[in-house]
Chains A and B, each alone.
Chain A
Amino acid sequence: MSSVTTGVPPGPGTVPPARKPRGRRTVLGTRPWVAAVFLLPALALLGALVVYPIGWSVHRSLFDASGDGFVGLDNYHEVFSDDRIRTALKNNVIWVVVAPSIATVLGLIFAVLTERVRWGTAFKMIVFMPMAISMLAAGIIFRLVYEQDPDRGVANAVWVGIHDTFSDPAPYPGARPRPNGDLAAASDGSFTSKTVLRQGSPAAVPLVAVKPEDAKGARDAAPARPESGKVTGTVWLDFVRGGGGTAGRIDQGEKALSGITVQAVKDGRTVASATTAADGTFTLPAKADGARLRLPAGNFAERYRGAEWLGPTLVTPSIIGAYIWMWAGFAMVLIAAGLAGVPRELLEAARVDGANEWQVFRRVTVPLLAPVLGVVVITLVINVLKIFDLVYIIAPGSSLPDANVLALQLYQSSFGTAVNQGLGSAIAVLLLLLVLPVVIVNIRRMRKERRR
């Protein structure tokens, strides 16, 4: 099987170095017009569709929405003062800081770990594959992943699963005491009795609004027996299927509610607590005498529905997650190629000198990989600055303003309903300025390689 990495030129250098000139490379006898003919189509296209637009955008960014009034740098001022665009700027900063670094670190980890595993190639293929698909397809994939309902979205299904493993779900979500009864609701969702508990007179705690599936298979409720030296009571579902029965009394066929936590509270302090048995009864020690009965909110909390991945607060991190899914493979493949060029003797020499594996990795491997890591990070930063499709597809309309990024704002300013192409051009120029340092670095590198 062909490997993901076999087609890769050796060595950490990822861009084929410009070769040093071997004298005049010109084929003998070329006439000057020939070069012009060969270059013309490329230069015409580049000139008209790449270079000219740069000048046009710079010029246009100095004019207002209509394009007639010269406004100087006002559009740029607006970029930094308009709330929506500031959100976009802030998000772009988050993107640039978070996405490339996480993707690169993951790529490094994967590249190092797959080196020794026989099926490393298969792993690399799986992780690299998302690079081949469109951001639109990836966006639809992650819309499905991030569905809010844990029964549909896999992210919340897993998240709720983890959550419920570490905290017991409430036994009767949504249930409450019969209204106008003895128990009054508190603001925290708990219920406290108005009367106090007494030894020898069992408390009756009728609940309603229990979901049928939660009470399925419950035993019939039994009135608690008075016991000396104890405070007793019954919690039950005060509802008979088909109607009938008396409110507040345990009628024939009414179901016991087991597993409910009851507390005895004196002066705001919990003095005793118990859990109802299968027949709905509970028994509290004598010190509960004179206390008020409380049913904590934990009994009735709605089922945990998971995180709102695409809500206003989490939407940007969620989309960054989708981006990392797509691009960690890119980092991995480049770093793996660089790793293949690291001389084994250096690593072995460090080991012989007594370095442990972490030190070898930290002090030898990573520094040798530094140029590759640099290229990976720079590439991802440029890529992330222009991010558009993923945000546009994944963010639902309601949280699109919170997920805003520069490229999206540019699109909306230039082609939406409220068009201001002056502002759109200013954003375009800003994007260009942000990638400009990379151009300079690139040219420097090329000239250096040429001089070698």
Chain B
Amino acid sequence: MTTADPLTGAPAPSVGAVRRRRSLPARLASRLGGGVTRFFLVAVGLFWLMPTVGLLLSSLRDRSDIAASGWWKVFSHPGQLTTSSYDTLFHNDKVMHSLLTTTFITVPATVLVILVGAFAGYAFAWLDFPGRDWWFMAVVALLVVPVQVALIPVAKLFNTLGIFETTVGVVLFHTAFGLPFAIFLLRNFFAEIPRELLEAARLDGAGEFRLFFRVVLPLGGPAIASLGIFQFLWVWNDMLVGLIFADSGNPPITVALQQQVRQFGDNVDILASGAFLSMIVPLAVFFAFQRQFVSGVMAGAVK
């Protein structure tokens, strides 16, 4: 690490020109400060991990054990560890099917947002039409519209169209509300494509769509990855939209588990194992694509 710490001021080797001689007490204080900092960070890290570990260990005990004592008892009674909650979960058709439903919602909603968003982002970046910047600003303004505003009217609209409580409706809703961010992100990224590249492709005789699919879309890779990860997690983790627009007999995993929460004590085995199962996909995505996720989060800070 070559940077100077803003709090305790370990001298930065890179700025050696201004290195000062420091008194013994100052050096001692810095040492001690470093130790305290480390201790503090370790404590906070464990503290932050504890709730998740608690869920994992709870899901690995059977219901009577969960009702009788806390998850930390497995450290003294490792024999309590069992996969019985997962057996119950895997035999619960509704919850297992809800994982499929979640996938059938998440994948199309992610692909559609990328496709439709890239179309519009390209148009805003490279095509000429009257009032382009104003249109773009209007789209960006929609970034912060709360989904709550649309719940009642879109429910009515979907009812009229016959897609209320269907997966199609949920997908369309998620796509629409993912679009402002998608367009914002992709337009800014596409605008960076060197003009010469597009002109060269055009001189080679590429048509509008060929240009888009063969040149623009591949060049947008990094931004599309960020957007895709972000939208994927957003939709996978959603509960509210699913609660209202999904078929309550065939809901996504979040809604299926939510239906069991009111009898928390009775369903604690399914809830703990189900919650952990529902976390596996987002966590895998998170660890595999951290960089893209972080840049997506940063770009979409104001969502």
Interface of A with B (CB < 8 Å)? 2, 4-9, 14-19, 22, 24-30, 32, 34-36, 38-39, 41-43, 45-46, 48-54, 56-57, 60, 110, 112-118, 120, 122-123, 125-137, 139-145, 147, 151-154, 157, 325, 330, 333-334, 337, 339, 342, 344-345, 347-348, 351-352, 357-358, 360-361, 365, 375-376, 378-379, 382, 385-386, 388-389, 392-393, 396-397, 407, 410-411, 414-415, 421, 424-425, 427-429, 431-432, 435, 438-439, 442-443, 446-447, 450
A152-B66 Cα distance, complex, nearest whole Å: 7
A132-B279 Cα distance, complex, nearest whole Å: 8
Tell me which residues from 56 to 108 in chain B have a Cβ below 8 Å from any Cβ of chain A.
58, 66-72
27 contacts between A and B (CB under 8 A): A8-B295, A14-B301, A27-B198, A35-B127, A42-B139, A45-B176, A116-B5, A127-B48, A130-B52, A134-B238, A137-B237, A137-B279, A154-B72, A325-B51, A333-B298, A344-B15, A351-B18, A352-B18, A382-B303, A386-B148, A396-B264, A411-B244, A431-B148, A432-B149, A442-B140, A446-B140, A450-B133
Q: Is the CB of A8 within 8 A of B279?
A: no
Minimum CB–CB distance for B259 against chain A, Å: 11
Interface string of B128-165 (1 = CB under 8 A from A): 11000101010111111111111111100100000000
Q: Is the CB of A136 within 8 A of B275?
A: yes
Q: Is the CB of B125 within 8 A of A439?
A: no
- The verdict on A132 contacting B1 (CB below 8 Å), with A27-B202, A57-B149, A141-B52 known, is no
Q: For residue A147, which residues in chain B have a CB less than 8 angstroms away from its CB?
A: 70
A451-B275 Cα distance, complex, nearest whole Å: 48
A345-B14 Cα distance, complex, nearest whole Å: 10
Query: Does B28 sit within 8 A of A, measured CB to CB?
Result: no
Q: Is the CB of B8 within 8 A of A5?
A: no
- The verdict on A6 contacting B12 (CB below 8 Å), with A134-B236, A145-B51 known, is no
Q: For residue A43, which residues in chain B have a CB less than 8 angstroms away from its CB?
A: 120
List 19 other contacts, CB 8 Å, given A41-B120, A375-B301.
A7-B294, A32-B128, A38-B122, A50-B177, A50-B179, A117-B37, A123-B45, A126-B49, A134-B236, A137-B276, A144-B71, A144-B268, A325-B51, A345-B15, A411-B244, A435-B145, A442-B141, A442-B302, A443-B141
A53-B55 Cα distance, complex, nearest whole Å: 39
A424-B244 Cα distance, complex, nearest whole Å: 14
Q: For residue B272, which residues in chain A have a CB less than 8 angstroms away from its CB?
A: 140, 144
Residue of A nearest to B294 (CB): A7
Of B151, B154, B172, B301, the contact of A410 (CB 8 Å cutoff) = B151
Residue of A nearest to B226 (CB): A7
Q: For residue A393, which residues in chain B have a CB less than 8 angstroms away from its CB?
A: 258, 261
Of B135, B146, B192, B211, the contact of A27 (CB 8 Å cutoff) = B211
Interface of B with A (CB < 8 Å)? 1, 3-10, 12, 14-15, 18, 20, 34, 37-38, 40-41, 44-45, 48-52, 54-55, 58, 66-72, 116-117, 119-120, 122-123, 125-129, 133, 135, 137, 139-154, 157, 172-173, 175-177, 179-180, 183, 185, 188-189, 191-192, 195, 198-199, 202, 208, 211-212, 233, 236-240, 243-244, 254, 257-258, 261-262, 264, 268, 271-272, 275-276, 278-279, 282-283, 285-286, 290-295, 297-299, 301-303
Residue of B nearest to A150 (CB): B70
Of A60, A139, A154, the contact of B54 (CB 8 Å cutoff) = A154
Q: For residue B183, which residues in chain A have a CB less than 8 angstroms away from its CB?
A: 42
Minimum CB–CB distance for B95 against chain A, Å: 13
A414-B191 Cα distance, complex, nearest whole Å: 42
Q: Is the CB of B148 within 8 A of A118?
A: no
A133-B105 Cα distance, complex, nearest whole Å: 17
A5-B172 Cα distance, complex, nearest whole Å: 33
Q: Is the CB of A141 within 8 A of B55?
A: yes
- The verdict on A333 contacting B239 (CB below 8 Å), with A27-B199, A438-B302 known, is no
Minimum CB–CB distance for B202 against chain A, Å: 6
Q: Is the CB of A14 within 8 A of B40?
A: no
Q: For residue B185, which residues in chain A have a CB less than 8 angstroms away from its CB?
A: 16
- The verdict on A132 contacting B286 (CB below 8 Å), with A333-B298, A348-B12 known, is yes
Q: Identify the interface centre among A17, A54, A142, A152: most chain B CB within 10 Å of its CB.
A: A152
Q: For residue B9, which residues in chain A have a CB less than 8 angstroms away from its CB?
A: 351, 357, 360
Q: Is the CB of A431 within 8 A of B146?
A: yes
Residue of A nearest to B158 (CB): A49
Minimum CB–CB distance for B280 against chain A, Å: 10
Of B40, B176, B278, B295, the contact of A113 (CB 8 Å cutoff) = B40
- The verdict on A151 contacting B69 (CB below 8 Å), with A41-B119, A428-B146 known, is yes
Q: Is the CB of B120 within 8 A of A42?
A: yes
Minimum CB–CB distance for A297 against chain B, Å: 29
Minimum CB–CB distance for B281 against chain A, Å: 10
A5-B282 Cα distance, complex, nearest whole Å: 19
A367-B181 Cα distance, complex, nearest whole Å: 29
- The verdict on A443 contacting B137 (CB below 8 Å), with A142-B51, A431-B146 known, is yes
